[in-house]
Amino acid sequence: MSLTAVCSFDIDSEGRHCGYIRIGDSTNSSGWAYHSLPITSVKNGAGVRLLILGGNHGDEYEGQIAALDLARRLQVEDVRGQIIIIPVLSLAASASGTRLWPDGTNFNRVFPGKVDGTIAEKLAFYLSHDLFPTCDVVVDMHSGGRSMYFIPTSNMGWIKNLPLRDVMARHMLSWKSQYHMIGGDQPSTNPDSLLPGDVVRQGKAVSTGEFGGSGWATAESLEVIRVGLENFMRGIGVYIVGKESVLSDFGKIIDSRDPLSFVTAPAEGIYENTVDLYDHVTAGDIVGRIHNFKQAGGEVIEVRARRSGIIAVIRGYPPVTIGDVVCYIGALYNDFYSFQAQAASEVVKQ
């Protein structure tokens, strides 16, 4: 048991419990305080232990709403095994509508955390050292936040651990969303510093998703995430109430592993999307325009696709600076098996 944080109830005990993860804090308003993060656990005998996380990034509300909903209604008789839910990891960021914590921390870049670090680092340490090792599966729900809007998808990274990759592919498909997305590593980023990367580093399965964005939640995105999460929980045998709610038995795959998938802003200005989600483009097509708002009579700059494929992400709000991602284009496959055949042929060529 780490010294960084404690759960206000015995997390191994049977039944339904709502309480807090408490982390020692010292603030202007209280010298001896606890950062108190709501957590719910519902346990019913032996079985899979699932950890569900929302609000890794503060302005991604779809996962927070789905997790809050589930935490409110989940009863002991609904569960075989245990479901632990932390609906809003980045509390202050969620309250202020920002991706990052008020001190500038990106919670999804501080893993495996620090025992004597900031509150964010201590929380990451607690998750990494106390919770992840005791769980069979972790769910980490994201969206595009304020700056991006994604086609709602369950996702996975195309990791090198082959047996774990197979498990995670099965999990991704079990959400039964119409589209699933497979990504690679983000440039210049240590993958192990991300929450999902830390789970994978420990040899555990993590299921993620990008369920919309723009800093708000729609009926469409919430339908995908709510129904999808139930499908997923039933698929791993931990949720035993009701029938499987099918969104799609044959989800399409968006392959975004190629770094050329990213389109970035070449200049500062006001960005205009000239394509919509689900549109198909070829390399060289215009996907957006940047309006210079600081120079009288300034030119409009056209932004072009660097590859062909489906528009999986558009800009969520218009102000941009050089290097901001404004669009994301993936290769589209009709099903996972066509994608897998393509991925296998890449391995043969190497």
Q: Which residues bind Zn ion (CB under 5 A)?
A: 57, 60, 142
- Range 169-208 burial, b when 16+ CB lie within 10 A, else e: bebbbbbbbebbbbbeeeeeeebebbbbbbbbbbebbbbb
Q: Which is nearer to Zn ion, 64 or 82 (CB)?
A: 64
63: left (phi over 0), alpha (psi -120 to 50) or beta: alpha
Q: How many CA atoms lie within 13 A of 59 on its CB side?
A: 20
Give least dist CB 106 to Zn ion, A.
9
Of the candidates 143, 144, 108, the one whose C-alpha atom is nearest the C-alpha of residue 326 is 144
Give least dist CB 140 to Zn ion, A.
8
Q: Which is nearer to Zn ion, 81 or 215 (CB)?
A: 215
Q: Which is nearer to Zn ion, 35 or 57 (CB)?
A: 57
Residue 279, judged by CB atoms within 10 A of its CB (0-12, 13-18, 19+), counts as middle
Give least dist CB 28 to Zn ion, A.
29
Q: Which is nearer to Zn ion, 106 or 308 (CB)?
A: 106
Give least dist CB 200 to Zn ion, A.
16
Give least dist CB 36 to Zn ion, A.
23
Cα–Cα distances in angstroms (integers) from residue 144 to residues 60, 130, 149, 320, in the given order: 7, 29, 5, 15
End-to-end CA distance of the chain: 44
CA angle 204–312–160, rounded 5-degree value: 30
Q: Which is nearer to Zn ion, 132 or 333 (CB)?
A: 132
Give least dist CB 305 to Zn ion, A.
24
Q: Which is nearer to Zn ion, 44 or 56 (CB)?
A: 56
Q: Which is nearer to Zn ion, 89 or 281 (CB)?
A: 89
Give least dist CB 268 to Zn ion, A.
24
What whole-number distance in Å separates Cα of residue 235 and Cα of residue 227? 12
